[in-house]
Amino acid sequence: MSLLLFSLLSFITGAVATGEPQRAELLFVGDAMQHQAQLDRAKEIGGNSYDYSGCFTYIAPEVTSADYAVCNLEVPLGGGPSYTGYPCFSAPDSYAQALKDAGFDLFLTANNHCLDRRDRAARRTLTALDSLGVDHIGTFHDAAEREKLVPFIKNINGFKIGFLNYTYGTNGIEPNDGVEVALIERDRMAHEIRKTREAGAEIVVVTIHWGVEYVLLQNKNQENIANFLVDQGVDLIIGGHPHVIQPMKVVRNEKEGKDVLLVYSLGNFISNMKTADTRGGALVRAIIERDADGKAYFKEANYNTLFAAKPAGGKTNFTVIPSWMPEKIPAAQRAHWQLFDRGARRIFDTHNVNVPPKHK
């Protein structure tokens, strides 16, 4: 018997013996941006390097407590020697290293900025993430690699969970040397969802870059795509791109008799955006369990909000601060946090369906 199979059987047997259901917690956050002010501050702190070590101190324990954590890396890792913010991003590898150190396991790379530095940087991003030993999906060295690497299925606490990542576009920049970007194309998505399921995935997660920037409610196009994905049998749909939060819902797939988690947008995880609604985002936790017949299913989800605090003197950096640590927000920024948090919770309280806040 292989070591992996022995470990899996031991885990399942142990769960049964204790009377506890087999369980996995997935955690998702929104857009990990890197604007010029963030680059400048990391360089100021690091001197000869870019130092992000303080950015995720407060949120890291929550990220690492999950069984598998996912973030949207919305910047290419261009390799330097110079790096740039908006409109054409390029960030140092130490930024991805800091996200890894904070506990993120899977980096999403299919977004509208993935080709900002063209094919070379898109490929270099994949090589850099490989060197860090983290999982990544959404962009590929070429079409042949996409065929080889999709489906991406991860064994998480004994569950075989498949992940897919798509974007609506790349800001009009087309690949010029064969880089493959997973786009929102219904036939291709249906094929890859089916391929993932046929390869043994018990749970299928689609992460998707869609919607209209700065709009707090989803539009009809998002709803239509979501309905299509539900009809394809996916279990979780996790969205980003608008840079503001949008509602979360548990919807019913009546054909298959199961609940599906639908998150329209998690907003910004970290950025230098300035308007109230863009100053933060949300994290969502999704719980996967097995029923009495051994079938894996999405059980429930909850959320918290996050605030991206700007440097407040000394060696402080841009810092992600969870809503349950308001005392960590610099005094001069607490009014900004309250504007963001009240606005986000107003949307969630009004429009969320069966995705409550988690009280810490």
Burial pattern 183-212, b for ≥16 Cβ within 10 A else e, equals ebeeeebeebbeebbeeebbbbbbbbbbbe
- What whole-number percentage of the chain has pLDDT above 70? 94
Give residue 2's pLDDT.
47
Give residue 25's pLDDT.
98
> pLDDT tens digits for 197-221?
999 999 999 999 999 999 999 999 9
Q: What is the pTM of this model?
A: 0.94
> pLDDT tens digits for 72-94?
999 999 998 899 999 999 999 99
Give residue 3's pLDDT.
45
Q: Where are the beta strands (DSSP E) in 12-167?
A: 23-32, 68-73, 106-108, 135-137, 139-140, 152-156, 159-167
Give residue 162's pLDDT.
98
Is 106 in contact with 70 (CB distance < 8 Å)?
yes
Closest CA to 308 of 54, 129, 49, 98: 54
> pLDDT tens digits for 128-165?
999 999 999 999 999 999 999 999 999 999 999 999 99
Question: Binning pLDDT at 50, 70 and 90, where does residue 19 land?
Answer: low
> pLDDT tens digits for 23-59?
999 999 999 999 999 999 999 999 989 999 999 999 9
Strand, coil or helix: what is 120? helix
